[in-house]
Amino acid sequence: MEQVYIGLGSNLAEPVAQLDAALSALSQLPQTELVAVSAYYSSAPLGPSDQPRYTNAAAHLATTLTAHQLLDHLQAIELKQGRVRKAERWGPRTLDLDILLFGQHILADERLCVPHYHMHARPFVLLPLADLCPTDFKLADGRRLADLLRDCPIDPTLQRLPAQQSCTI
Ligand code: ROI
């Protein structure tokens, strides 16, 4: 069993409902257990600002799928929920599912970069992750989550949403 952490994000078509639906889909993946879900967070877009605010969360899965099998499933869920890949970099999306951490594996190929390449610079990824991990949590590459949190830029727009706006498992 690998302990896996997924980042979820949406800023189109009712983002909270998108995350609820994605978590429901994650809970039904084969060979996989949905262990825990973070709070939901709202923040202004990083990147082009002419797009709606994002809702983000993180999920802890335990799985016997390989990282690439899991990625195939995540991309199928994104497509099912209306994700359209546009040429525009960092544009709005109905659903983004990223493998942040895959056990103690370090992966770098044309499809996957794990630990996720940008996570250290993104409070909307690190704060949800910190809901799920102990403070002394170490990434596969030796970095401590607590250090990433301390060193990442402050996002004054980031808000933790009240629990009733998030789904409970
Ligand atoms: N900005 C925020 N706040 N949250 C995201 O999930 C997010 N995802 C992205 C870009 C466009 C970089 N900006 C984001 O992919």
Residues forming a β-bridge with 160: 41
Q: Is the dihedral of CA 6, 11, 16, 19 positive or negative?
A: negative
Residues forming a β-bridge with 32: 63
Report the nearest-CA residue for atom 13 of ligand 1.
Answer: 46
pLDDT in tens, 7-25: 999 999 999 999 999 999 9
109 is an active site residue? no
Q: Is the dihedral of CA 44, 46, 49, 50 positive or negative?
A: negative
Number of domains in the chain: 1
* Radius of gyration of the chain, Cα coordinates, nearest whole angstrom: 15
pTM above 0.85, yes or no: yes
- Domain containing 101 equals 2-165
Task: Assign residue 79 the CATH number of its domain.
Answer: 3.30.70.560
Q: How far is the CA of 115 from the centre of ligand 1 (A)?
A: 17
pLDDT in tens, 47-80: 999 999 999 999 999 999 999 999 999 999 999 9
